[in-house]
A and B are shown apart, each in its own frame.
Chain A
C-alpha cells in the first residue's frame, strides 16, 4: 500500500516563522494589513475548534508540487546589522524547510521593513 502525503502552505509558513524568530537580531516578523486580516481569520477559525494556531504573520508561502517559495518581512533590533540578520534568516529558513519537509526551496526572500533605532552614544 502506498502512502501519499502533502505539505500545505500554513505548515511551511509555521516552520519559516519559527526559524526566523530564532535568529538573533530579529525583534519580530512584520506583516501588512492583508496579512494581519488573514491571520485573524485563521485564528478565529482554529480557536472555534479549540486549537491555538502557530503565529505566521509576516510569512507568505507558495507551494507548487515539491517546490516552495517563501517571502518574509522582518523587523530588526538595531543592535545587529540588518543586512547580516536578513542573510542569516534566509539561510536558517531555507535549512529548516528542507530539514523538516524535504521540499525543494526555490527562493527565500527577506525584506527588512523596520529597524529599531539603537543609540550610537
Chain B
C-alpha cells in the first residue's frame, strides 16, 4: 500500500511540495517550524545524495523514497508521542494516529478532514485511552447529523482497527461547507 504523503506535516504541507521548490521557499515555509525542520533535513540529505550520485557503487533505486521516509520519521520522532503501554517502552506518534483518523473521515463522500489533534488520557486495563478532536468540512446537505454520525463511527472503527487503542472521546468540529 502506498503511504499517503499528503498528510506529512501538521501544517498541511506535504514533503513533496517542499521538495519540489526547496530552493525557493515561500513565506509560509520560511516561517513555519514544521516546514523549516523538514527543509533542513531535505537539504542535508540532498547534499549527501549528491555525493552518492558520483559513486557508481551505490544503488540509487528508491533513493527519493528513502529520503522522504527518513524526513517523515524525523519529524514524527520529534513530535508528540503517545504511550501504548503503562511503561515507557512502546509508543506511537500522535501524527501517525492523526493520519489514520483523518483518512477514515476523508473516505466518506462529502467529507474533507482538516486538522486533527490526539492526546492520551491514560491507560486502562492495559489499553491506552485517547481523546481526539477532528475538524472537518462537508458538502451542504439536509442529512448533516447523519453524516457526522457516520464520520464518528468510521473514525472510531479505524482507531480500533489500525491503532488498537480506545478512542474514548471524539470531538467533531464542522469548520466549513464546500461545493461538490
Binding site for B on A (CB under 8 A): 27-28, 30-33, 35-37, 40, 43-44, 47-48, 58, 73, 75-84, 86-87, 90, 107-121
- The answer, yes or no, to whether B100 is at the interface (CB within 8 Å) is yes
Q: Which of A28, A73, A82, A118 contacts B164 (CB 8 A)?
A: A82
Given contacts A90-B90, A112-B84, A118-B162, 10 further A-B contacts (CB under 8 A): A28-B69, A33-B41, A81-B160, A82-B92, A82-B96, A83-B164, A116-B1, A117-B99, A117-B158, A121-B107
Instruction: Say whether chain B's binding surface is mostly helix, strand, loop, or mixed.
Output: helix
A62 CA / B52 CA spacing, docked (Å): 28
Q: Can you list the 4 inter-chain pairs with the closest CB atoms, starting with the nearest?
A: A81-B164, A117-B103, A83-B164, A32-B74
CB-defined contacts of B145 to chain A, threshold 8 Å: none
- The answer, yes or no, to whether B12 is at the interface (CB within 8 Å) is no
Select the residue from B66, B81, B91, B96 with max chain A CB neighbours within 10 A. B96
Tally of B interface residues using CB under 8 Å? 49
How many A-B pairs have beta carbons closer than 8 Å: the answer is 140
A19 CA / B65 CA spacing, docked (Å): 23
Instruction: Say whether chain A's binding surface is mostly helix, strand, loop, or mixed.
Output: mixed
- The answer, yes or no, to whether B31 is at the interface (CB within 8 Å) is no
